[in-house]
Amino acid sequence: MSRLWALFAVFVLGASCAPSRTGTGHRTSGAEQPMVICFFGGGAWRFERMTHFIPGFLAFDGEGGLSEWDLRAVSKEAHDAGVKVIVSFDGEHWQENFLPMSENEDGSRDRFVENILRYCLENGVDGVDYDWEIGGGFDARQQSLYSELVIATKKAFRPHGLTVSIDAYFRDELDARGLEAVDWIQLMSYEDLDEMHSMIEYWKARGVPDDKLVLGMAIGWGDQREGFDPELVRAKVRSCIDGGYAGVMLFRTDLDAEHEGSMLQVVHESLIPVPSR
């Protein structure tokens, strides 16, 4: 989920089913633990330190069809550790697939939403994350189409307790209706604190409440680890706690170390304990 960057993830999966899911998965009061959402890198050690796992991107086409990706074993392992699983749709294929599908002229958006719901229920997935990114920003038509998709997805998901999130920058991805429907927004605030605070204010000015904002941090943009500043990570976690935000998002934990030198471990240590406010 980098800016206009594509990735494939490979998993060897089994065929066991996952338990049912309840609730939205994001914090609703200052006394609750913030979400810790991790892209790509899972496993037992990491699952002990996160609340939500995004194993990767699910491919789709412009007619509403989805590729095959069996996530049942991953979902079971995550759920056994108390971690929710979110499947994401990547940020590069908006023009050739997202726009034709979201127009819904031939019912392709309806098929897409139906297929996503079926996929989540069959694979024990707790929600979807839309990561559609347009470099120059969203025009009014694109914003409306994206919002309609989010609204339709949430309407289908609500009876099943599944969530819908998006990844956002300074791009006006959703209109007011879409912002109301989405469960939370993962801010791609990967640089310094100034960028993070500017992005927070940008979305708050558009009416997004604090408990829908997830603060992002990154250990690498592509397939190479670039390292991180532990003090910056601690400062972002503290900002999350003090501001009453929904949580933090780490991109990408498959590039992160385990144990010593781990960004996820720094986040974990910074959250224990979270004082009541």
Taken in order of first residue, the domains within the chain and their CATH numbers are 35-270 (3.20.20.80)
Token pair for 93: 């294929």
Out of 79-83, 84-88, 135-139, 143-147, least confident range: 135-139
Antiparallel, parallel or unpaired: β 163-168 and 127-130:
parallel
pLDDT surpasses 60 at 31 = no
For 172, counting Cβ atoms within 10 Å of its Cβ (0-12 exposed, 13-18 middle, 19+ buried), the class is middle
pLDDT surpasses 50 at 28 = no
Please, which residues have CB within 8 angstroms of residue 154's CB and are 6 or more apart in sequence?
A: 164, 181, 182, 183
Mean pLDDT over 163-179 rounds to: 96
pLDDT surpasses 80 at 273 = no
Q: Give the whole-angstrom CA distance, residue 11 versus residue 42.
A: 10
Please, which residues have CB within 8 angstroms of residue 131's CB and are 6 or more apart in sequence?
A: 1, 57, 88, 89, 90, 91, 166, 167
Q: 224 pLDDT band (50/70/90 cuts)?
A: low
Higher-pLDDT residue of 135 and 25 is: 135
Neighbour tally for 275: CB within 10 Å: 8
pLDDT surpasses 60 at 29 = no
Q: Give the whole-angstrom CA distance, residue 72 versus residue 88.
A: 16
Mean pLDDT of all residues belonging to the chain: 87
